[in-house]
Chain A
Amino acid sequence: MFFPLFWTYLKIGTFTLGGGYAMLPLIQREVVDRRGWIDEQEFLNMIALAQAAPGLIAVNSAIFIGWRVGGWRGVCGAVLGAVLPSFLIILLIAMVFSEWKELPAVEAAFKGIRPAVVALIAAPLFKLAKSAKISWLTALVPVAAALLIWLGHVNPVWVILATIIITLCSIWLSSYRSSK
């Protein structure tokens, strides 16, 4: 099962722009609808797990589907297929980019692109906040996280660890109190 998974993921990895989330519908069409490797329900479970686990969502999903479909060989095929296209493309770009960057036309274009990139990072926040069903009270969590990293220069790793520890402790405390 190395090659079928490798080709499937290579195809998806080469032709989807916009990162991990954009890959999910294509993976679903290929793996569930066309090949029938796993069913719809299992695919949805897979997405939930791939998002809950740390790491890149595209890679996480490749590991899960690779394992379910073809064991170790499946995992190797799917992960290589998912990673190889972007690895090779960026390698090529990295080789020539430092020379191109010196060109006045490219430099001018990037002066326009940089603020656009910041807007592309910031704009999805609107949609994310809506889908996470954020309230005025829970909004304190992202605000505190952003301020700690932005102004406090705290490493995001600590903010993530603190979120996990504080959440676990507060549930434990509340269940401890209610059991008394």
Chain B
Amino acid sequence: MLYLALFISFFKIGLFGFGGGLAILSLIQMEVEQHGWMTQQEFVDIVAVSQVTPGPIGINCATYVGYTTAGFWGSVLSTTAIVLPSLIIMLSICKAYFWLNKRFKGNPYFEQTLRFLRFTVIGLIASAALLLIKPTNFIDTFSWVIFGVVAFFTVLPEMIKGKRLSPFAFHLASLLSHPILLIVLAGLAGYLIYAPA
């Protein structure tokens, strides 16, 4: 029964996961928390691990949840389940590619739905972040300082874009906005602040 539940959950995530990576997070979070497969902390930790390891975040979460709940075959099953809807839908699209291209380009129903889905996806990502703002993840003032610093460096390249600055400043800003570097620095900060002396 656990296998079936894992399969259904990750098939659903693959089927409704519009907008890729971050947008899929709120779907995964909802599923794994409803089933009690992962605590909130575990979820955040695996997102952190996903950010510093290669590969799509959806595959990482499916593999991890599958393994921790049902062992090796659980991880194979969950990963297959999240890929399966893509296979079905994308292969149908490929087979009808030329026909689709003619019919859907400029079709108002199709284009408007995509446009509004893009807006909804922004809301989904926002909800993924909001759901994680909890005392388990934000334990004290330092947490908020780390949050602020990381958020600042991530949006910095976007904010100075088009401004008249030296090329060096742009390079530095884009270097500092790298998620892996920011996670490593946050981990280092956590170690210095919270590790028992």
Contacts and interface: CB of A to CB of B under 8 A. Distances in A.
From DSSP, what is the main secondary structure of chain A's interface residues? Answer: helix
Given A52-B114, A123-B151, A125-B125, A20 B53 contact: no
A163 B119 CA distance: 9
Contacts, number: 346
Contacts of A68: 94
A104 B42 CA distance: 16
Contact of A54 (B53, B85, B147, B194): B85
A91 to B, nearest CB: 6
Tell me if B's interface is mostly helix, strand, loop or mixed: helix
A115 B143 contact: yes
A110 B190 contact: yes
Interface string B37-59: 00001001101111111111111
A76 to B, nearest CB: 10
Given A57-B56, A90-B75, 8 more contacts: A13-B55, A17-B53, A60-B90, A83-B83, A121-B125, A121-B132, A160-B124, A167-B116
Interface of B: 12, 14-22, 24-27, 30, 41, 44-45, 47-60, 63-64, 67-68, 72, 75, 79, 82-83, 85-87, 89-91, 93-94, 101, 108-109, 112-114, 116-133, 136-139, 142-144, 146-148, 150-151, 154-155, 158, 179-180, 182-183, 186-191, 193-196
